[in-house]
Structure formats: C-alpha cells, structure tokens
Structure 1
Amino acid sequence: MRNSQLKPAYNLQIGVEGEYIVGVDISNERSDQLTLIPFLEKLDEKLPKKFKNIVTDAGYESEENYVYIEEHDQTSYIKPQFYEKQKTKKFKSDISKRENMEYDYENDEYICTLGRRLKNIGLINRTSKSGYITQVTKYECENCEGCSVKNKCTKAKGNKQIQVSKKFVEKRKVSFENITTPEGIILRMNRSIQAEGTFGVIKEDHGFRRFLLRGSVNVKIEFLLKALAYNIAKLHNKIISNRLGCSIFIKEIL
C-alpha cells in the first residue's frame, strides 16, 4: 500500500493463451517467485497438452524456476529482474555491480575496475522457502587497502566480497538470450497484451476489484466463475468479429 499499511489479500495467478484464460490459481505467497511452479504443475494436471514456452515478467525469476522449466523440456522467456535497470547510465557506471566486472573463466576470478582480483574463497548453500537448495560461490578481493574508489564499490570495512550462484547466472543468460530474439520479443509483447490486458478488462471494464467470499477455496471458485464468464464473452466477441481462426501461438503447445 502507498501509505505503508498492509491489507489482507490473495495472490491471484492466471495463464492466458489465445486471449482465453487457460489456468487460475490462488496463493497466499507474497512473492510471485514461489507461485510459478505450483501453477505450472496445475496446468500440466488439468490441460491435455503442455505449453512449450513459459513467458513471464521479472517477478517470477529465480534459479529454482529456471531449473524446473528446463527439466520439464520447456523454454523460459523470463525477463531478468535487472533487465530495465541495466539499460541505464547509472547501472552501467556502478563499479560495485558484478555485472560490470570482468570475469576470468580460467581462474574463476572477478576483476574490479582497478584490476584487483576477487578470488574464490568457498561455497555456501542456501535453502529457499520451498526447500530448493542453491549453491553459492563466495569471492573476496585480494586487497582493498588504499583503493581510491572503495567507497563507491563497497560499504565493507574489510575487503569487498560478492556471492554468486553460477547456475543462476547461467540460466539467466539463456533466458536473456531467449527474450531478446525476434521470437522472444513477440512473445513478451504478446504476454503483456494478453495477461495484463485480461486483468485490465476484469478490473476496469467489469469492475471486479475485490472478492465477495473468504478463504482460498471459495475465492478460487469465485474467480473460476469469473474466468468462465470472461472466456464466454471473449468467444462471443470473436464470433461476431469473425476472429475464430487459430492463434498464431498454437504451435507453441507441445
């Protein structure tokens, strides 16, 4: 809330294909990251076919989600969380960012703006709320003493340290390459129009801004009825406007 207060709410997830709502889920998770896998599992369970391409915004990005999508023979088109910021002059000139450091693959070391090396000092494991374990590599600068730009690089009293999940960096790079291809650009544009547009129609045109029922099960039933009405209205509009042809993305379903 803009006044820093919290209100009880539900995290509503929808999947849209060909302008129709094809999946609905209700979650109590505040973050979208932990809702993607349960939602995809429900789609696999309920739908006769599996979607080939998973297209989401940056809020769903995580190593766990990347790995899940890959293991299920699907392709991720997830926008990295830094995607918009990396285009800015401020981000590009920030010497503290790992992305702006040179990486020495042979020695597994990062090189800072003054040429000092951040060496691999060990591994740690992090466990997410869902139980997924991420292996993180710790790097520490060989010596930050006397550095003329240390105040711009780190707030640490000692040497600068960074923590990197190599698997996450690898998966993010693949997804970044996917979303920047001609097909990826079209898919992301299509997602914005369809998914965000669906919420826009339901909230603004239909005036549906709060649930009348309480409890996850009841709320899901209420929105399923709303989604059914939305799809019937969409079908009606397609019939009267002679737009019943196959979606251009029908090939993206296995």
Structure 2
Amino acid sequence: QQRFGFKVEAVALDSGYLTSPICKGLQSRNIFAVIAHRRFHPTQGLFPKWKFTHDAERNLYVCPAEHELQYKTTNREGYRQYASDPQHCKRCPLLNECTRSRNHRKVVTRHVWEDSKEWVRGNRLSRSGKYLYRKRKETIERSFADAKELHGFRYCRLRGLQNVREQALMTAAVQNMKKMAIHLDRLENKG
C-alpha cells in the first residue's frame, strides 16, 4: 500500500480467515470485508450459541428461557464469559437442552472484538458482499490453479516442511509480483 500507492477498498476471503482479530483489523482499516461462513457443529442436543441473545447495553446474554447470563470475567485470549445462575437453571424446563454441566451453570463466551465479526457477517449478506464473494472464485481460486499449472505447484520439488514452505512462499511472491506489474501497467495506461 505504501510503496505502490494501492488503495485496498475490499477483500473477499475464505472461512479460515473468520477470526475476531482479522475482522477487527479490516474494520479498523476501513476495508469492506467479506469472509465465508464457517459452519460450527455445536454439541448434539444442546442449544447453539445463536439461541442466546446478546444485550450490549446491559452487557449480558439472555437464554431461550428468558434468564440472564451475567458477565463474569474476561480470559487472556480476550473472551468475555457470561454465566447463568445455577439456582434458576436447576428448575428450568430447558436445562437438558441448554447444558450438561454438573453444577447446572451455562457459560457463553464472546470475544471483545465480536462486533467486528458481526460487521463482516453483515457484509457477506449484503448485495455488494454477495457480488464480491462471487468474484473471488474468478480471481483468487484462479491463482491456485495458476500455481499448479504454471509454477510447478502440483508437486513439491523437495521434502520437508521447511522446503515445502519455502516453495509455497516463493510461488506466492512470484504471483504477487506479476499481479502488481499488471496492476501498475493498467494504472499507467489510464493516466
């Protein structure tokens, strides 16, 4: 960005990049981000996290039975923990669908940058987000195909993690240089 003056306006990424720090970084740089949905498989028979409503104003979660899960602490990884009152949960008719904990306490976690993740999810569902993600197939997935066909990435030349990593990074560097040269040529021909 600094050296060539490229202005990154938007990115489309696969689900491996759907993490709170990445979402926060993109939002703070004012880059429109679209990241594929990651399918989580909650414990069979228990409510998934989305069944619990987050109340940002009061800093708590509300369970499907309308009980409040109060904020307790934030761990070192940046996750806020919200816990239910075991006295309420003991008598709750939905207890078996909510938790299997022995002390009858449900704990829900929320990352401190979860709002950025929700912003990215909203982008994915927008009209421009859907268009951008469709373009990803034509551009990014094409890079993987070119790496295989044009840069010998179908097979690794050497053995060992370090050698394979080096080949992958060199291939990516070459592809990025080609993309930059094409982009700079287009900018020069416009002006």
What is the aligned residue count? 173
Partners in 2 of 1:104 and 1:68 — Cα distance? 24
Residue matched to 1:154: 99
- Residue by residue over 1:87-130, the C-alpha shift from the partner in whole angstroms, topping out at 9 and shown as x without a partner, is xxx98xx762221123334432222222222112233231xxxx
TM-score with structure 1 setting the length: 0.56
Partners in 2 of 1:219 and 1:176 — Cα distance? 30
| From 182, 189, 197, the counterpart of 2:127 | 182
Q: Secondary structure at the match of 2:72?
A: strand
Residue matched to 1:209: 154
Contact preservation (8 Å) 2:147, 2:171: no
Residue matched to 1:98: 49
Contact preservation (8 Å) 2:34, 2:120: yes
Shift in alpha-carbon separation, 1:108–1:193, aligned structure 2, 3 A: same
| From 58, 64, 71, the counterpart of 2:28 | 71
User: 1:17-56 counterparts in 2 under 5 A?
Assistant: 44=1, 47-56=4-13
TM-score with structure 2 setting the length: 0.72
- Residue by residue over 1:68-94, the C-alpha shift from the partner in whole angstroms, topping out at 9 and shown as x without a partner, is 223333222223424xx6xxxx98xx7
Shift in alpha-carbon separation, 1:105–1:72, aligned structure 2, 3 A: closer
Relative to its length, the structure with more strand (as a share) is 1
Unaligned runs of 5+ in 1: 1-43, 127-133, 236-245, 247-254
The Cα RMSD (Å) is 3.3
Partners in 1 of 2:156 and 2:4 — Cα distance? 26
| From 111, 132, 148, the counterpart of 2:62 | 111
Residue matched to 1:220: 169
- The sequence identity of aligned pairs, in percent, is 18
Shift in alpha-carbon separation, 1:81–1:222, aligned structure 2, 3 A: closer
- Residue by residue over 1:129-167, the C-alpha shift from the partner in whole angstroms, topping out at 9 and shown as x without a partner, is xxxxx2x22111123113333232122111111111242
- Residue by residue over 1:187-210, the C-alpha shift from the partner in whole angstroms, topping out at 9 and shown as x without a partner, is 000012221133235436887412
Shift in alpha-carbon separation, 1:164–1:58, aligned structure 2, 3 A: same
Relative to its length, the structure with more helix (as a share) is 2
Unaligned runs of 5+ in 2: 187-191
Q: Secondary structure at the match of 2:101?
A: coil
- Residue by residue over 1:45-86, the C-alpha shift from the partner in whole angstroms, topping out at 9 and shown as x without a partner, is 66441321121011101121122223333222223424xx6x
* Greater length-normalized contact order (CA 8 Å, ≥ 6 residues apart): 1
Residue matched to 1:13: none
Shift in alpha-carbon separation, 1:224–1:117, aligned structure 2, 3 A: closer
Contact preservation (8 Å) 1:110, 1:117: yes
Q: Secondary structure at the match of 2:91?
A: coil
